[in-house]
Structure 1
Amino acid sequence: MEPGHGHLHTDRTGPVRSVAISASGTRIASASHDMTVRIRDATGQRTLALARAEAGLLSCAWGASDELAVGGKRGLYFFTLLT
């Protein structure tokens, strides 16, 4: 392992490309090369939502109102988690 690079262990089948923490600090989103975006509670114990795209995902970022933007090989996706 190179200095400054760690490994994130998940239940993914491909590498995680991006991780983002919501402005409220209660949710963590991860975008993966396995074409999925997962939203978990901040403790990491519970998956709140899972969405699949048609190609690998490269980045994710939370907006101020807890909307999630996810960028991938086939476009940009926007999500709002309904609770």
Structure 2
Amino acid sequence: MEKRKQDALASLAKRCTNETPPFFKKLRTAGLVLAAIGTSIVAAPIALPAIAVTIGGYLILGGTVITAVSQTAVNEIDFEE
């Protein structure tokens, strides 16, 4: 079982260091922008309604998930196990 976990982590590290396809680079950038917008809403120095802060939290969550998934995408041809 321990060997399988090490193999999975090595595979993930290899995927993260390989070249990302152009579509996923654009998607990663969009995720970063969403996370930045959400962060600026949540950290606003003025009092905002609770719904705005909630939406900002969802933007942060969505942006970070999109960014993480896009970073691990590689071309199937380039990635051979």
TM (norm. structure 1) is: 0.16
Larger radius of gyration: 2
Q: Which has the higher contact order (CA 8 A, sep 6+)?
A: 2
Q: Which structure has more helix as a fraction of its residues? A: 2
Higher percent of residues as strand: 1
